[in-house]
A and B are shown apart, each in its own frame.
Chain A
Amino acid sequence: MPDAEDSMNDAGARPRGRVALFVTCLVDLYRPQVGSAAAQLLEGAGYVVEVPPQGCCGQPNFNSGDREGARKIAARVIDRFAPFDYVVAPSGSCAAMLRVHYPALFPEGTDERRAAERLAEKTFELTSFLYDVAGSREVAATLDASVTYHDGCSGLRELGVSRQPRELLKSVSGIELREMNQPDACCGFGGLFCVKYPQISERITGSKVRDILATDAEYLVAGDLGCLLQMAGKLERDGHDVKAVHVAEILAGATEPGD
Chain B
Amino acid sequence: METTSRQFKQLSLDALANATLQNSLDGVREIMPRIRTAALAERGDFEALCDRAQEIRDRAIRQLDTHLEEFERRVQAAGGTVHWAATGEEACQIVVQICRDVGASQLIKSKSMVTEEIELNDALEQDGFAVTETDLGEYIIQLRGEKPSHILAPSLHVTLEEVAETFVEHHDIERSAPLTDATEMLAEARSIMRDKFLQADVGITGANFLVAETGAVVIVTNEGNADLTASLPDTHIVVTGIEKAVPTLDDVGVLLRVLARSAIGERLSNYTTFVQGPRRAGEATGPENYHVVLVDNGRSKMLGTEFQDMLRCIRCSACLNHCPVYTAIGGHAYGSVYSGPMGAVLTPAFAGLPAAVHLPNASTFCGRCEAVCPVRIPLPSLLRRWRQRELNARPATDGQRIGLGLWRGLNRWPPLYNFAVRLAAIVLRSLSVPGRGGQRWIRRLPLVGAAWTDFRDLPAPTGHTFQDEWRRRKS
* Number of B positions contacting A (CB below 8 A): 72
Contact assessment for B324 and A66 in the assembled complex, using a CB-CB cutoff below 8 Å: no
CB distance from B364 to the nearest CB of A (A): 3
CB distance from B355 to the nearest CB of A (A): 18
Contact assessment for B408 and A69 in the assembled complex, using a CB-CB cutoff below 8 Å: yes
Q: Pick from B16, B364, B414, B458: contact of A193, CB below 8 A.
A: B364
Contact assessment for B459 and A58 in the assembled complex, using a CB-CB cutoff below 8 Å: no
Contact assessment for A207 and B448 in the assembled complex, using a CB-CB cutoff below 8 Å: no
Contact assessment for B456 and A32 in the assembled complex, using a CB-CB cutoff below 8 Å: no
Q: Pick from A33, A73, A229: contact of B462, CB below 8 A.
A: A33
Contact assessment for A258 and B462 in the assembled complex, using a CB-CB cutoff below 8 Å: yes
Stretch at the interface among A47-55, A118-126, A127-135, A169-177: A47-55
CB distance from B24 to the nearest CB of A (A): 14
Q: Please, how many angstroms separate the alpha-carbon atoms of A154 and B368 in the complex?
A: 10
Residues on B with beta carbons closer than 8 Å to the beta carbon of A67: 388
Given contacts A29-B425, A64-B400, A205-B456, contact A35 B466 (CB under 8 A): yes
Chain A positions 1-56 with a Cβ under 8 Å from a chain B Cβ: 3, 23, 25, 27-36, 39, 51, 53-56
Given contacts A191-B365, A193-B362, contact A54 B391 (CB under 8 A): no
Given contacts A28-B466, A61-B407, A157-B368, contact A232 B459 (CB under 8 A): yes
Given contacts A23-B466, A29-B424, A199-B455, contact A76 B325 (CB under 8 A): no
Given contacts A195-B448, A236-B436, contact A64 B404 (CB under 8 A): yes
Complex: chain A residue closest to B328, CB-CB: A203
Contact assessment for B388 and A32 in the assembled complex, using a CB-CB cutoff below 8 Å: no
Contact assessment for A53 and B467 in the assembled complex, using a CB-CB cutoff below 8 Å: yes
Contact assessment for A241 and B469 in the assembled complex, using a CB-CB cutoff below 8 Å: no
Complex: chain B residue closest to A156, CB-CB: B367
Contact assessment for A236 and B441 in the assembled complex, using a CB-CB cutoff below 8 Å: yes
User: Considering residues B363, B370, B466, which has the most beta carbons from chain A within 10 angstroms of its beta carbon?
Assistant: B466
Q: Please, how many angstroms separate the alpha-carbon atoms of A36 and B467 in the complex?
A: 10
* Number of A positions contacting B (CB below 8 A): 72
The 10 closest A-B pairs by CB, nearest first: A190-B364, A233-B456, A65-B387, A65-B388, A186-B366, A32-B466, A35-B466, A65-B391, A195-B451, A153-B366
CB distance from B462 to the nearest CB of A (A): 6
CB distance from A35 to the nearest CB of B (A): 4
A141 lies within 8 A of chain B by Cβ: no
CB distance from A124 to the nearest CB of B (A): 19
**What are 22 A-B contacts defined by CB distance under 8 Å?**
A25-B421, A29-B421, A30-B459, A32-B466, A39-B470, A54-B414, A63-B384, A64-B387, A64-B400, A66-B388, A69-B405, A186-B364, A188-B364, A190-B364, A197-B362, A200-B329, A203-B328, A203-B329, A234-B455, A237-B455, A243-B437, A259-B438
Q: Please, how many angstroms separate the alpha-carbon atoms of A90 and B411 in the complex?
A: 19
Interface of A is mostly: helix
Q: Pick from B362, B392, B438, B474: contact of A65, CB below 8 A.
A: B392
Residues on B with beta carbons closer than 8 Å to the beta carbon of A83: none
CB distance from B436 to the nearest CB of A (A): 6
Interface membership of chain B positions 304-340, coded 1 if the CB is closer than 8 angstroms to chain A and 0 otherwise? 0000000000000000000011011100000000000
Contact assessment for B459 and A153 in the assembled complex, using a CB-CB cutoff below 8 Å: no
A106 lies within 8 A of chain B by Cβ: no
Q: Please, how many angstroms separate the alpha-carbon atoms of A191 and B384 in the complex?
A: 13
Complex: chain A residue closest to B360, CB-CB: A65
Residues on B with beta carbons closer than 8 Å to the beta carbon of A82: none
Contact assessment for B412 and A72 in the assembled complex, using a CB-CB cutoff below 8 Å: yes
Residues on A with beta carbons closer than 8 Å to the beta carbon of B4: none
Given contacts A23-B467, A58-B411, contact A157 B26 (CB under 8 A): no
